[in-house]
Amino acid sequence: VKAIGKPERAVVTTCAYCGVGCTFRAEMRGEQLVRMIPYKDGKANRGHSCVKGRFAYGYANHKDRITSPMIRDSIDQPWREVSWDEAISYTANRVRTLRDKHGANALGGITSSRCTNEETFLVQKLVRAVFGSNNTDTCARVCHSPTGYGLKTTFGTSAGTQDFDSVMETDVMLVIGANPTDAHPVFASRMKRRLRQGAKLIVIDPRRIDLVRSPHIEAAHHLPLQPGTNVAVLTSLAHVIVTEGLADEDFIRARCDWDEYEDWARFVSDEKHSPEFLEPVTRVPAEELRAAARLYATGGNAAIYYGLGVTEHSQGSSTVMAIANLAMCTGNIGRPGVGVNPLRGQNNVQGACDMGSFPHELPGYRHIHDVETRNLFEKDWGVSLDPEPGLRIPNMLDAAVDGTFKAIYIQGEDILQSDPNTQHVAAGLEAMECVIVHDLFLNETANYAHVFLPGSTFLEKDGTFTNAERRIQPVRKVMEPANGYGDWEITQLLANALGARWNYEHPSQIIDEIARLTPSFAGLSWDDLLIRGSVQWPINEKFPDGSPVMHIDGFVRGKGKFVITEYVPTDEKTGPRFPLLLTTGRILTQYNVGAQTRRTGNVAWHAEDVLEMHPVDAENRGLKTDDWARLASRKGETTLKVLVTDRVAPGVVYTTFHHPETQANVVTTDYSDWATNCPEYKVTAVQVVPSNGP
């Protein structure tokens, strides 16, 4: 970090990387950011931070930043820099022409979990109220959409049940499909503190993540399951709990639908769901599974923490519901120290989902079919809304290839690099007649764009992010936007050019609208938030101070719902050509596709994506650490360096997806969650052979 003198002023704001939501003092000298100091009064981080939040902000002033709008009539032409007036009127004309010719359903928009709540609210409003379709989606489609489906179905709303502090009252932590040390480092530190105090740990993960064995911490049980068998493992845990009489029947009778519980208990009790019967499927020793189930059910306050290793599967939604079943059947819900806690990957994935960015839901997880809710929005917005759900991201791409979907507005998302089956994403984008990319950099998706609207960083705007514990926190403007506008203003310019009459002057007015239209945010206001520092939704008349723990007296849906989750093997099969299973994850110093973290000054962080491989598999192929290898699947191939390690089990390989040179998603498949289309990133059958390099 270059020394640029002593700070002259400081602004308290929220980190724009992961779902922990650390608060920082951004210390400024003139218009220069001098340093980011973790804020001791931040409720999510209490003065702690990781390297990304503290040091990885150089991208805000990076030379690659685009600050002028650009247009081109076709993607084989060079970009032409234009004024904002020309860019907005050019974009509106293209969108209007396509809407007149092909109808509103040919248009859609994608918003990002990197943006503020107010920005995502406006994008879905633009699509619904101005474009006239429900073709609005968010990058949560490819990460936590199964959380939305699974927790809404079982509990009645889609959110983690606990605050982070609650972990200090946990006796047993069950971590499944998450690697908090790398992906949620500040919360991982709190977990480790509790584990060092004596809490027990169960890890369900194909890879031996850092938590399994770290200084003064040893997991009681690490269940290194075969990728794709989460539901089988969770069902076998439930089998042990029910058949050994460890279920909390008093809690179930009081809080859940008893008839549904009985049906579910009969299902899991079947011998074919025993750990012994399922061992050949899960590859987890039955005795380990039995011991883990007993510990979870009888070890005191038990909390489940999960990540994308749960959701990014063809049974992602089933896995989330199987987790909810476990928590309900043991009474581990509705008090501090227990619960079901999705560790949200991105800073505002919770908020993006809360704000109605899904094609079937208006803000607050209310279905578009719900007439009362629709009427409320129609009256407030002065428009008629389409009563039918719109297209999800993969359906928009399919429809584009089929010739029925023509224009897309993508705010803060690089779908070409982040979504599965890159070739299909490219084909969908290429088939569209108007692709509008609104972002900081000319990303990979922008190669297919006709309009580029430069975006603003989190340092350049006011608004709010909602972290993984439902904590709504202010984001404060630290410096003026390099492009002249906040992102919410650009969406407003486009809406008004298309005939809307929006007149927001500050995001606080968007918050007022969100509060007016959404019961779980009814008590939210910008001024109040600045006084409190943060608040956890629901915040309304019943919970005027917010809600650190949910479902205390009853579930949002009334009675908790047990759902039978039958294990269905993925269609992605290994075989002689593709004998290994690839699974993916992140490293501490990089973030998702790396658009921001690769643009920082500290080159020591820029470790390339490598392929972790078990010594036996490596030896069979004549590979050593640092050798180049070709990684091929039925969908595509790429080249990576090998890291030989027993962190992965034989038959499993692992890599990260931070670098466009690697493009790990060229190998991932089209398979997706049955309920939400969340891609099955975590299971790809592959072959690995020696290579001379890229």
d(CA 488, CA 412): 12
Residue 468 touches ligand SF4, criterion: CB under 6 A: no
Torsion sign (Cα): 611, 613, 615, 618: negative
Residue of this chain nearest to ligand SF4 (CB atom): 53
Residue placing its CB nearer to ligand SF4 in the complex, 52 or 598: 52
Residue 17 touches ligand SF4, criterion: CB under 6 A: yes
d(CA 253, CA 582): 42
d(CA 354, CA 111): 12
d(CA 625, CA 644): 5
Residue 111 touches ligand SF4, criterion: CB under 6 A: no
Residue with tokens 């909602």: 466
Kindly state the smallest distance separating residue 60's Cβ from ligand SF4, in Å. Answer: 14
Which whole-number Å values give the CA distances from 52 to 6, 48, 345, 588, in the listed order? 22, 12, 14, 8
Residue placing its CB nearer to ligand SF4 in the complex, 187 or 681: 187
Single out the residue of 20, 173, 581, 649 in contact with ligand SF4 (rule: CB under 6 A): 20
Kindly state the smallest distance separating residue 656's Cβ from ligand SF4, in Å. Answer: 16
Q: Which of 617, 598, 596 is nearest to 607 (CA)?
A: 598
Single out the residue of 71, 167, 186, 326 in contact with ligand SF4 (rule: CB under 6 A): 186
Instruction: Tell how strand 451-454 and strand 70-71 pair up.
Output: antiparallel
Single out the residue of 18, 26, 115, 324 in contact with ligand SF4 (rule: CB under 6 A): 18
Binding mask 434-453 for ligand SF4 (x = CB under 6 A): --------------------
Structure tokens given for 537: 């939704």
Single out the residue of 28, 53, 332, 548 in contact with ligand SF4 (rule: CB under 6 A): 53
Kindly state the smallest distance separating residue 45's Cβ from ligand SF4, in Å. Answer: 6
Single out the residue of 9, 10, 27, 52 in contact with ligand SF4 (rule: CB under 6 A): 52
Q: 366-385: which residues touch ligand SF4 (CB under 6 A)?
A: none
> By CB under 6 A, which span of 11-19, 118-126, 411-419, 564-572 interacts with ligand SF4?
11-19
Residue placing its CB nearer to ligand SF4 in the complex, 50 or 110: 50
Residue 26 touches ligand SF4, criterion: CB under 6 A: no
> By CB under 6 A, which span of 14-22, 172-180, 420-428, 603-611 interacts with ligand SF4?
14-22
Give residue 383's Cα distance to chain centre.
31
Residue placing its CB nearer to ligand SF4 in the complex, 36 or 435: 36
Residue 21 touches ligand SF4, criterion: CB under 6 A: yes
> By CB under 6 A, which span of 10-18, 118-126, 232-240, 672-680 interacts with ligand SF4?
10-18
d(CA 106, CA 135): 9
Which strands make up the sheet holding 463-466, listed edge to edge?
463-466, 471-475, 535-536
Residue placing its CB nearer to ligand SF4 in the complex, 21 or 206: 21
Q: 243-262: which residues touch ligand SF4 (CB under 6 A)?
A: none
- The site that binds ligand SF4 (CB under 6 A) totals a number of residues, namely 13
Kindly state the smallest distance separating residue 184's Cβ from ligand SF4, in Å. Answer: 6
User: Which DSSP helix (H) or strand (E) runs through 54?
Assistant: helix 51-55
CB atoms within 10 A of CB 690: 13
Kindly state the smallest distance separating residue 52's Cβ from ligand SF4, in Å. Answer: 4
Structure tokens given for 357: 């960015």
* CB of 235 closer than 8 Å to CB of 322: yes
Residue with tokens 């020591």: 604
> By CB under 6 A, which span of 17-25, 225-233, 329-337, 400-408 interacts with ligand SF4?
17-25
Instruction: Tell how strand 172-176 and strand 200-204 pair up.
Output: parallel
Q: 31-50: which residues touch ligand SF4 (CB under 6 A)?
A: 45, 49-50
Residue 185 touches ligand SF4, criterion: CB under 6 A: yes
Which whole-number Å values give the CA distances from 421 to 30, 202, 602, 654, 684, in the listed order? 45, 33, 31, 18, 11
* CB of 562 closer than 8 Å to CB of 264: yes
DSSP-derived secondary structure for 390-453: ---HHHHHHHHHHT---EEEEES--HHHHSS-HHHHHHHHHH-SEEEEEESS--SGGGG-SEEE
Kindly state the smallest distance separating residue 188's Cβ from ligand SF4, in Å. Answer: 8
List interacting residues with ligand SF4 (CB under 6 A).
15, 17-18, 20-22, 45, 49-50, 52-53, 185-186
